[in-house]
Amino acid sequence: MPALEALLDRFYAAHTQPLGVSVDSAPCHANWGASLGGVSFPLLADFHPKGAVADSYGVYLGDKGLADRATIVVDAGGVVRYAKSVTPAGKRDMAELAAVCEDIDAVYGEPLPAREPGPGVGAGASLFVKSSCGFSRAALLARDNLHLESTLPARNVTDDAGALATLRELAGKEQAPCLIRPNGEPLLESKDIIAALAVAAAPIE
């Protein structure tokens, strides 16, 4: 995955949206992505019913309870143009896959929209978190996986009385996690915070 992350610009230039799919849960994906230094493209949890998506592509290994390490490229018209397995123990060649996507893009035959960088979180945004809070950890994992650390500071209200006072002033309560947007609007639910961060980081078509 780090190799794919490093080549995202090539995939995006070829009008390709990389997706990772496994039978692990969304929390597992978030922690795994962070352990790799951040995974900013979507990781999809084929968790319940287990392996249903992989099975629909013929790559679910039911006897092992996991998906094959396979790559499937679907063009903009919904046609599978490439499929290859490297087996669960194998390793993909990301440069080769980028070239495959570039070749498919070059002959697709219809104009596709260019992708622009995401809008970002905006100057002045802040993320308030609490220690030993699963929801705060989920928000931090999303920020780090999306490589927004440099533009979205995190303030821990458990350890910083000043941060707690600021949160109370801006949000009207001491609930964390809380994302304060540049316009002053507070987002107080982790799922809403994560969705907003995903939009901020996602390329625009």
Residues 73-125 pLDDT 10s? 999 999 999 999 999 999 999 999 999 999 999 999 899 988 888 899 999 99
Q: What is the pLDDT of residue 204?
A: 76
Q: Distances from the Cα of 204 to the Cαs of 43, 111, 113, in angstroms?
A: 18, 16, 9
Please compute the mean of the pLDDT values over residues 28-34 and round it to a whole number: 93
- Please enumerate in sequence order all residues whose Cβ is within 8 A of that of 19, keeping only pairs 6 or more positions apart, or say none: 41, 42, 43, 44
The pTM of the full predicted model, rounded to 2 decimals, is: 0.83
Domains parsed from the chain with CATH numbers? 2-106 (3.40.30.10), 126-201 (3.40.30.10)
Q: What is the pLDDT of residue 205?
A: 67
Identify the sign of the CA torsion 78, 83, 86, 87. positive
For residue 140, is pLDDT > 90? yes
CA distance 169 to 92: 50
